[in-house]
Structure 1
Amino acid sequence: MTTPVTTLKDLAAATRGTWSDPPPNPDLPISGFSFDTRTLQPGNVFIALTTPNADGHDYLDAAFAAGAAAALVARPAPAPGPTLRVPDTLAALHHAAAQHRTSLRQPVIAVIGSNGKTTTRQLIHTALTPTLNGSQSPKSFNNHLGVPLTLLHAQPRHDFLLAELGTNHPGELEPLAQLARPTHIVLTTLGAEHLEFFHDLAGVTREETSALRHLHPPATLIASAQAWSLVLQHTPDTAAQHTPILYDDNDTAAPVHITPDTLKQSAQGTTLTASVHGQTVDITLPMLGRHNAFNTLAALAVAHQLNVPLNAAAASLAHLPTVTRRLERIQLHNHLLIDDAYNANPESTRLAIDTLLQLDTPPDHKTIVLGDMRELGDHTQTAHNDILQHLIDNTRRYRAAHLVGPHYTHAAANLETPPTLHTHPRDTDHTLNAIADTLPQHGTTLIKASLGLNFLRLRHAIEARFVN
């Protein structure tokens, strides 16, 4: 049986590194791994990564001052604690994670897809915890740095490991799936993500389905009907190798679906009745969005596969922790702020708008603030035009919309827009503060933008307006 990487001695063996000075206690348990001295916890191993912006070897003193048990380094460097030298610290991190993953015997669930990965992961974790004890990706740790850290965080005693796998460029996802070796994959939805690099939906589908090559027994695939229809269309050879468990919000023929006419939404959350392989269960979610009710179906499908009673899963979902900046509700006295500005693409932006429009509050209480969607390549202007047209078509359903950034501004210049729609070419602090100042005391505001626009500044401006 492969040895898990839980001590400094295990780490040295897995990476084939050489100690500068042997640690006083090589059997010391590792409390975790970190490449950021600002968040490093006592007992962590510090990974000295070299990037275009910083060299981790320059922060060894800070790492040991914060309580690092040891540091993984790629070159000789003075340090006040034991350092383990390897040719490449990132490669060594991956080697350690691969060995640790091989030692695990619990189900490993990987969440992939264009939209909803983080929320779906949190829903799955919440649904499983009534009867199972497991670990999951911290935050959105879904790239070449986050996935190995997620794997190394898992303990052999855990009942499951839940990982989120993401991609921005072709060829990024498959190595992560190869490292994670999932026994279960949840494929959320496929949409227009990072089209600057994937070019079209066919490219997105090819990238996402590359993960399916690395499913390990029992090789359970849970997929949304929307995503699977695109897999059948664009990667039929891959589709022919799998028989997924499908979930859908409308099609009652899907093994997991929402019972017709049961989905209800309010500013407090969402209720629905789900059918899971013939069993029905009532769900109350403290979160907004029809698409999040849809994501809940994936969580229930996983719970069913891991033999968690559905009623127990439902009771746990009623206490779902807040998923930061994913339709996050912030009540500011008489004003409700809905922050969905972690990131934005055409599908997630339209879903966020529709979530606000469907709330049972008066139209003249609703404000929409959108920032540009990035990494869409040749599809950039068409995507912004489409969102703008959606706003124009629904003008009577909200009081005002503010569009921030050059792409939305360019789109508005080419369309006849209503007076309630305002454009702002630049995302300056002055612009965002001015938008916050226009919001009424009683109302609901949605903010949505690509992460690069840093709409956290807008959130803070709105909070300052209504809290101070």
Structure 2
Amino acid sequence: MDLAELHKIFLQHPNACTDTRKIEKNCIYFALKGPNFNGNKFAKDALNKEAAYAIIDEEQFHIIGKTILVADVLKTLQNLASYHRSQNRAKIISLTGSNGKTTTKELIYSVLSKKYKTIATEGNLNNHIGVPLTLLTIKEDTEIAIVEMGANHQKEIEFLSSIAQPDFGYITNFGKAHLEGFGGLKGIIKGKSELYDYLLSNKKHVFLNADDNIQEQKLSHYIKKFGFSETNKQYYPIKFLDANPLVSLEFENIIVRTQLIGSYNFTNCAIAILIGKYFNVSKTDIKAAIEGYEPKNNRSQLIKKNEHRIVLDAYNANPSSMKAALESFSKLDSENKILFLGDMFELGKTASDEHQAIASLALKMGFENTFLIGENFFNVATSFQKFKSFEDLKNYLKTIILKPSSILIKGSRGMALERIIENL
């Protein structure tokens, strides 16, 4: 069966599923494989749950009239998604970067949805499987699709770009994330810039933060760019006002008061404003969209509990985002401040040095009440209290009473530090 024929079947059953626990009636089940699972074995289960078809790549699971046998299910999913994208009129905006991708995506979606039929990556489905699944949610009436792209090694963004074929792109920043896979900061810049490489070689449009020297230099001679800046008058002016604790900013004499914690969220809001302006969304709708966005999923959330004011930013962490969170929290107007910092993952050989640098930075900034959690932080040289595991911290918290304070909770996803809140 060729790609065009398979696409005709997909249009009759436009719902792709890869998990038999989430099968919906008349969907198409893609029997993906992984190191510890074989989706082919669950094809019959998917069909019993009323999937229209199951796409498999092992003949022993073939059921005549119900399964479609292909050479490689994953490649078929990716090729079908790319073909589907080419058959639709939707404009694709791709996002990548070390920090802030998901928040930026959600803000752009909030703005563009005011005027256009818009879809966006759900959650963090931003890899070689998630990007194709996102593209397959494009409908005939979709006008704009915002596709988030994540990567932890070279050539990954290049590959995802070849699938999504974006018309526009934006890189949030170049920070110390996935240092192990990229081989250092230079590798990160090279890897993330693969989105630029695609856009420039195909003469597509680029959005940029012109106050980011790396972005501005890489795009200095490119014509099809649209950027924002606080200082450079050749770009669209957007001004940071405050972040105490919520970010406020100004464009075209309009003040926007967000529900986002941390000055690092300024650029996330600014690019959403810029893209809204590019697509002719009204100023009042842009303001309403940014102000109406509520952070969730442990990202830059402001929570009040037992007289504590908690900044919960525990969805993920790397040295760059940790540093930005500490700098922003240090400027918060509060007498009593407490830090709960958890291990940062995927740092490879640099893990020891990077954790030591963050502990030293927290001390230099004057944070006295600091709790470090995880095996990496447990091994740093510091006067701060250290806990090898979350359970050790949990047991300690049972023995003390914290006076009303502003609290920052920050760590990698695997640390699940949001659990601290219920133990305060």
Say if 2:31 is the partner of 1:48: yes
Aligned to 2:164: 180
Query: CA separation in 2, counterparts of 1:430 and 1:405?
Result: 10
Count of residues in correspondence between the two structures: 422
C-alpha displacement of 1:431: 3.1
Identify if the C-alpha distance between structure 1 residues 231 and 431 changes in structure 2 by more than 3 Å, giving closer, same or farther.
same
Pick aligned residue for 1:379 from 314, 326, 350: 350
Identify if the C-alpha distance between structure 1 residues 116 and 461 changes in structure 2 by more than 3 Å, giving closer, same or farther.
closer
Aligned to 2:369: 400
Query: CA separation in 1, counterparts of 2:397 and 2:22?
Result: 33
Q: For residues 64-83 of structure 1, what are the structure 2 equivalents within 5 Å?
A: 64-76=47-59, 77=61, 82-83=66-67
C-alpha displacement of 1:292: 0.8
Q: Which 5+ residue runs of structure 1 have no aligned equivalent?
A: 1-11, 18-24
C-alpha displacement of 1:15: 7.2
Give me the CA root mean square deviation: 2.8
Aligned to 1:460: 419
Query: CA separation in 1, counterparts of 2:138 and 2:227?
Result: 28
Q: For residues 56-205 of structure 1, what are the structure 2 equivalents within 5 Å?
A: 56-76=39-59, 77=61, 82-205=66-189
8 Å contact kept, 2:81–2:163 = yes
C-alpha displacement of 1:387: 1.0
Query: CA separation in 1, counterparts of 2:399 and 2:41?
Result: 43
8 Å contact kept, 1:72–1:83 = yes
8 Å contact kept, 2:210–2:216 = no
C-alpha displacement of 1:309: 1.3
In the TM superposition, what whole-angstrom CA distance separates every residue of 1:150-207 from its partner, at most 9, and x where no partner exists?
Answer: 1111112112010001110111110101111111101111111212122232211111
8 Å contact kept, 1:266–1:359 = yes
SS at match of 2:380: helix
Identify if the C-alpha distance between structure 1 residues 90 and 239 changes in structure 2 by more than 3 Å, giving closer, same or farther.
farther
One-letter amino acid of the counterpart of residue 14, structure 1: L
Pick aligned residue for 1:270 from 233, 247, 254: 247
C-alpha displacement of 1:244: 3.2
Q: For residues 353-364 of structure 1, what are the structure 2 equivalents within 5 Å?
A: 353-362=326-335, 364=336
Query: CA separation in 1, counterparts of 2:125 and 2:36?
Result: 20
Aligned to 1:422: 385
Q: TM-score, normalised on structure 1?
A: 0.82
C-alpha displacement of 1:114: 1.3
One-letter amino acid of the counterpart of residue 389, structure 1: S
Say if 2:207 is the partner of 1:222: yes
Pick aligned residue for 2:3 from 8, 11, 14: 14
Identify if the C-alpha distance between structure 1 residues 27 and 72 changes in structure 2 by more than 3 Å, giving closer, same or farther.
closer
In the TM superposition, what whole-angstrom CA distance separates every residue of 1:372-426 from its partner, at most 9, and x where no partner exists?
Answer: 212223332222222111111122xx551111123222222xx5x3xxx2111x2
One-letter amino acid of the counterpart of residue 22, structure 2: T
Aligned to 2:228: 247
% identity of equivalent residues: 26
One-letter amino acid of the counterpart of residue 29, structure 2: F
Query: CA separation in 2, counterparts of 1:263 and 1:65?
Result: 57
Query: CA separation in 2, counterparts of 1:376 and 1:90?
Result: 29
Say if 2:422 is the partner of 1:451: no
In the TM superposition, what whole-angstrom CA distance separates every residue of 1:4-25 from its partner, at most 9, and x where no partner exists?
Answer: xxxxxxxx652766xxxxxxx9
C-alpha displacement of 1:321: 3.5
8 Å contact kept, 2:204–2:224 = no
Query: CA separation in 1, counterparts of 2:12 and 2:397?
Result: 51
C-alpha displacement of 1:96: 0.5
C-alpha displacement of 1:451: 2.2
Query: CA separation in 1, counterparts of 2:10 and 2:129?
Result: 25
Query: CA separation in 1, counterparts of 2:398 and 2:329?
Result: 18
SS at match of 1:110: strand
8 Å contact kept, 1:37–1:62 = yes
Identify if the C-alpha distance between structure 1 residues 430 and 422 changes in structure 2 by more than 3 Å, giving closer, same or farther.
closer
SS at match of 1:408: helix
One-letter amino acid of the counterpart of residue 181, structure 1: Q
Q: TM-score, normalised on structure 2?
A: 0.90
SS at match of 1:307: coil
One-letter amino acid of the counterpart of residue 244, structure 1: K
SS at match of 1:132: coil
Pick aligned residue for 1:34 from 9, 14, 17: 17
Identify if the C-alpha distance between structure 1 residues 62 and 332 changes in structure 2 by more than 3 Å, giving closer, same or farther.
farther
C-alpha displacement of 1:138: 0.6
Say if 2:235 is the partner of 1:258: no
SS at match of 1:318: helix
Q: For residues 327-338 of structure 1, what are the structure 2 equivalents within 5 Å?
A: 327-338=300-311
Q: For residues 312-327 of structure 1, what are the structure 2 equivalents within 5 Å?
A: 312-327=285-300
Runs of 4+ in 1 over 6 A off after TM superposition: 78-81
Query: CA separation in 2, counterparts of 1:39 and 1:126?
Result: 27
C-alpha displacement of 1:440: 2.6
In the TM superposition, what whole-angstrom CA distance separates every residue of 1:336-394 from its partner, at most 9, and x where no partner exists?
Answer: 333222221111011122333322232x2x22111121222333222222211111112
Aligned to 1:347: 320
Query: CA separation in 2, counterparts of 1:289 and 1:436?
Result: 30
